[in-house]
Structure 1
């Protein structure tokens, strides 16, 4: 049996003083640093005739209050390089209840050590005198000792499980196994490894799914942009829609061939193939039809307003439209061409127009 570690009541007292200090600082300051806590804490220790402590010891005490005694909630936030860290230590209970929890913890620890010392003594006596002299009392002590050791081991295993931060609660069944503490801890280690492996795999698969969704969205954007460019070049819109739907279906599971244009020339090949396979409509004939239709519209509008002969008026309109690269119906319908021609006719006299337009 290992010798029980020597217990220091000074730590118990210092933790109670620290609780009192935190309660005071939280009421006095809205924001503070660990240096502020250290100053007030050491002042309290000096008044009680104890030696002051260093910042590292204070940090250990603050950690114990949250993790071991569970009487505080510790807030930390790093503000960046050379900006320090924000801190706040909130008491979970009123300070009297915090004192009670700390005292109870040390009392239980004291009782456990007491039982261990008794157990060590009776084991030595048992080996010398045998179990006859101890009679029934010996059995009772052994039972209590076993229960105490088992309770300590269960607490140790639970603390280890907390440190593992299991995602699921499956580890709790391990506590009920009738095996040694070390074996339980080894099982927990393996369980954590398995859990970590599957957790990592799940995150990786999930990330991959998100990535392919984003890439498909980018693929659709590029193909739509390319399709519009080809439409402007005069390719048949209906055929382009069908063609690019097929292209998307082909590349949706391998979008990088389109997206990474520096490494792959698939998009260039698609554009060239599209231009070869889809015929352009007769653009020249279409433009001529548009010009003729606009000419007729303008002629009907202007022959009422102007006193020019019809033949001369038609020549004026033709000459005007020939100067426009691509006449549009929209400009005709909003009377842009009409007002331009009306202004031209008013500003120029008839004889000048006739001379200008003689063929």
Structure 2
């Protein structure tokens, strides 16, 4: 048995799929991983080597649509698949799913699995103009590719329902798993910080669709009422996504003293340990990894009543759900923790319990291997 896993970012293989790749090697399969410039990423390639995964570089641009460049990607994938001859293929994120599944079908790979980890900005709402054109094009491409998949795995039931409603995938091919799971051993429960100001934390790519603007607006509202009782932390970075915030906006928030900005971190455990409440006001997710990390750490969570996010929080139990794009409601949820600080520990403990019961990565990976056809 040979398995090839395709990603659009080398570091994601180590950071988000390492336990899955290890589970595949432990199943007895010969495992290969492919991503752009994987061999040039010393950290990711070393992590792959430690668990016996063979690495391949694939020319794939994570963003943008260029017919000639993307056609070359499909051809390169086809050639590599014909060389490796895997029995099982897994792709995740938009371009690897669309181009990878097509290439695997052309190469005659028997088991072709698409993992839908999120829908991206083009699916967040019906759009017009250039964004509307991109939305329609992506749907056509998904429909063509997923018709050639043998299994399509979703990370929340809302995404599955939307794909079926839009006729992008046949229902009988689909299954839902509990996100990517969380390695509880890597994110042990941590004691809360000492009493004092309540520290709120958001970790995300700095995109409008992650709710960055609502987080800032809510921080401003809370600070107006309690200037010294809350601190707002932001971890993340600006990338080439069309929904990215402006650098000038970030600079102004820092200058105003609304947030403490930590940039992009390779290790998010220290800021999670240092916070009291984790916040993710995202418009839509697959299953948000950072929320699972916060829950495992033993932190209360505020997130949105949006696909993917609402799967992780039971309102009033391990945190609060607020409407999408509603800064006032987000601020009100934050103020509840300031007014009732005992909620922080109680909800944080519930979050840890839910993470252990529902999102343990070893349980999730067992389901993944079964649905990929690797195990019975």
TM-score tier after normalising by the smaller chain length: under 0.3
* Structure number having the greater helix percentage: 1
Determine which structure has greater relative contact order: mean sequence separation of CA pairs < 8 Å that are 6+ residues apart, divided by chain length: 2
Task: State the structure with more CA Rg.
Answer: 1
What TM-score, normalized to structure 2?
Answer: 0.19
What TM-score, normalized to structure 1?
Answer: 0.19
* Structure number having the greater strand percentage: 2
